[in-house]
Amino acid sequence: MGNWPPPRRGSEQAGHRKKIAAVGLLLAAVVVWAVIIATHKRGFNWPVFVATVTALDWTWLAGSVLFAYSTYVVRALRWAILLKPLRPHPHFLGLLSATIIGYSAVTALGRPAEMLRPYLIANREGVPFSSQVAAWIVERIYDVLIALAVFGFALSQVSGSGANLGFALSWALRVGGVVIGAGAGVCLAVLFAMKYRSEHIQRWILRALGFLSKHHFEKVERLIVGFLEGIRSTKSQSATALMIGYTLMEWLLIAACYACVLKAFGNAVDLAPMDILVLMGFVSFGSLVQLPAVGGGAQVTAVLVLTQIFGVPIEIAAGVGLMIWFISFAAIVPVGALLALGHIPELHRGLARARLREANRGIV
């Protein structure tokens, strides 16, 4: 059964996460500053904003919601590939339910809720929690690689357009280029190391921890073995191909969702398919900054890109940014909340076990 809460991190890892968060917040602050300046210069006409939002085509919005919901089905199918070595025939509806609850929790509570989905899946399927944390890491790597590819395409399109982007956005693009190169390199290195050197990594870690007492060493060994079992789920070529296929399908559905949102605004926003990919690339990068219940980077980045790159009036851009965030992130929360009601006893049991282990000084 899964262990909850997840293992405690070392001070070095905590410091690394703080640095990443600081860089993300700095980029978000620059983007917010640019939007505030643009709003101040041009003014914000609230009647235009209200008229734009109230005139939306609800048929296109319904289509965007359908595409957004479909991404959770694809994500559940992708997780089934990661779970297959441990559970050849996982309960798909259970995976779908945990996926929806997990993403809803991230929207409502912020990034710390990311571990809820691996916990629910581990608990329901009866596999080690550490193996599902590994599956989550592999899934994130695939998503980040595609997001970086789309963002890189967006940068190339904007950089070659000759548009006058201003100091703030130009600076953000330069930093973004560095982030793409470093992020893609790190993701590929981690993915290949976990895929082709997992046994060597296991032996090296266990040798390095040989100084531990037998009791603690056995606990750490179970944790590492469970983690690497999740990593080995994509060692076969067929599993890798399926992971790539499902990830591409997920992002195609996201692109279709964006296209439907823009169509709902009628002639107010007229972007070509390549322009939609540019917008999606920037928003996917901006969504790394996710504030509990209110989102954050996704809306602000959408407004900045639409106004500064595509010349969309800020009132319309604000409406587009709001709808993209609502449909891509918030629309699933009511469904996730309803599904979570059936998991409340399960979550209470997990927390009770965690408290008991802590009282016995047996947390791993």
SS3 293: coil
Q: Name which of 128-137, 182-191, 280-289, 322-331 the model is least confident about.
A: 182-191
Where does residue 170 rank: exposed (0-12), middle (13-18), buried (19+ CB within 10 A)? middle
Interval 131-163: pLDDT, tens? 888 889 889 888 888 888 887 787 777 765 555
Measured between alpha carbons, how far is 4 from 21 in angstroms, rounded to an integer? 24
Q: Pick the residue with more confidence: 323 or 222?
A: 323
Interval 98-112: pLDDT, tens? 999 999 988 888 777
What mean pLDDT, rounded, does the chain reach? 77
- % of residues, the chain, pLDDT over 70: 68
For the chain, how many residues are written? 364
Under 8 Å between Cβ of 148 and 184: yes
Per-residue pLDDT, 361:
41
Omega before 334 cis (within 30°)?
A: no
User: Per-domain residue ranges for the chain?
Assistant: 57-359
SS3 298: helix
> Which neighbouring-strand residues pair with 296?
290
AA letter at 343: H
Question: What confidence tier does 364 reach under pLDDT thresholds 50, 70, 90?
Answer: very low
Interval 12-25: pLDDT, tens? 445 545 555 555 55
> Which of 330, 316, 280 has the alpha carbon at shortest distance from 146?
280
> Which of 119, 121, 4 has the alpha carbon at shortest distance from 357?
4
- Please give the average per-residue pLDDT across 111-136, as a whole number: 87
Per-residue pLDDT, 92:
95
Where does residue 363 rank: exposed (0-12), middle (13-18), buried (19+ CB within 10 A)? middle
Per-residue pLDDT, 221:
74
Q: Chain centroid to CA 184: how far?
A: 16
Per-residue pLDDT, 173:
64
- Please give the average per-residue pLDDT across 312-322, as a whole number: 91
Measured between alpha carbons, how far is 334 from 95 in angstroms, rounded to an integer? 18
> Which neighbouring-strand residues pair with 295?
291
Under 8 Å between Cβ of 301 and 27: no
